[in-house]
Amino acid sequence: MHIVLDGRPIQDHFPGIGRYVYELARVLPALAPQYRFTLLYQPTAPNHLFPLNALPADLIRQPVDASPFNLWQHWRVPAVLRQLRPDIYHATYYMMPFRPGVPTLLTVYDDIPGRFPHYFPTWKHFFIEESKQIALRIAGHIVAISEQTRQDISRRYRIAAQRFTVIPLAADERFRPQPAAALITSRKKYALPDAYFLYIGSNKPHKNLLTLVQGLHRAKETDPDVPPLVIAGPWDDRYNAVKQYIRGKRLQNNVIFLGMVPDDNLPALYAGATAFLFLSRYEGFGLPVLEAMACGTPVICARSASLPEVGGEAVLYVSPDSPQQLAREMGRVGRDEALQQTLSERGLARAALFSWTESAKQTITIYRSLYRQHH
| pLDDT at position 47 over 70 | no
**347 burial level (CB within 10 Å; 0-12, 13-18, 19+):** buried
Q: How many CB atoms lie within 10 A of CB 137?
A: 11
CB contact set of 48 (below 8 Å; sequence gap of 6+): none
Query: Under a CB-based contact definition with an 8 Å cutoff, are residues 199 and 277 in contact?
Result: yes
Average pLDDT for residues 78-105, to the nearest whole number? 96
Element of type H or E holding 346: helix 337-351
Average pLDDT for residues 147-173, to the nearest whole number? 95
CB contact set of 151 (below 8 Å; sequence gap of 6+): none
Give the pLDDT confidence score for residue 24 in this predicted structure.
Answer: 96
Query: Under a CB-based contact definition with an 8 Å cutoff, are residues 274 and 333 in contact?
Result: yes
* Residues 45-50: contacts with CB under 8 Å, at least 24 apart: 45/8, 45/11, 45/12, 46/11, 47/10, 47/11, 49/10, 49/15, 49/18, 49/263, 50/10, 50/11, 50/18, 50/19, 50/21, 50/22
Q: Is pLDDT larger for residue 71 or for residue 309? A: 309
Assigned fold of 180-351? Rossmann fold (3.40.50)
Give the pLDDT confidence score for residue 146 in this predicted structure.
Answer: 97
**CA dist., res. 22 & res. 54, Å (int):** 10
CA dihedral for 246, 247, 250, 251, sign (positive or negative): positive
Assigned fold of 2-170+355-374? Rossmann fold (3.40.50)
Average pLDDT for residues 337-341, to the nearest whole number? 97
Rounded to the nearest 5 percent, the helix, strand and coil shares of the chain are: 50, 15, 35
| pLDDT at position 43 over 90 | no
CB contact set of 49 (below 8 Å; sequence gap of 6+): 10, 15, 18, 263
Q: Which of helix, strand or coil describes residue 107?
A: strand
Query: Under a CB-based contact definition with an 8 Å cutoff, are residues 92 and 107 in contact?
Result: yes
Average pLDDT, the chain: 94
9 pLDDT band, cuts 50/70/90, is: confident
Sequence letter at residue 274: T
Give the pLDDT confidence score for residue 117 in this predicted structure.
Answer: 83
Give the pLDDT confidence score for residue 186 in this predicted structure.
Answer: 97
Q: Can you give the residue ranges of every domain in the chain?
A: 2-170+355-374, 180-351
Alpha helices in 85-175 (DSSP H): 112-115, 122-138, 147-157
| pLDDT at position 292 over 80 | yes
Average pLDDT for residues 329-350, to the nearest whole number? 97
40 pLDDT band, cuts 50/70/90, is: very high
| pLDDT at position 324 over 60 | yes
Tens of pLDDT, residue by residue over 192-236, are 999 999 999 999 999 999 999 999 999 999 999 999 999 999 999
First to last CA, the chain: 11
2 pLDDT band, cuts 50/70/90, is: very high
| pLDDT at position 352 over 70 | yes
**CA dist., res. 218 & res. 177, Å (int):** 30
Alpha helices in 139-235 (DSSP H): 147-157, 180-190, 209-222
CB contact set of 239 (below 8 Å; sequence gap of 6+): 203, 204, 205
Listed range (33-47, 154-168, 301-315) with the worst mean pLDDT: 33-47
Q: How far is CA 10 from the centre of its chain?
A: 13
Tens of pLDDT, residue by residue over 99-128, are 999 999 999 999 988 888 888 788 777 888
180-351 and 2-170+355-374 share a CATH fold:
yes
Give the pLDDT confidence score for residue 13 in this predicted structure.
Answer: 56
| pLDDT at position 238 over 60 | yes
Neighbour-count burial for 270-293, b at 16+ CB within 10 Å, e otherwise: bbbbbbbbbbbbbbbbbbbbbbbb
Q: Which residues pair with 231 in a beta bridge?
A: 199, 257
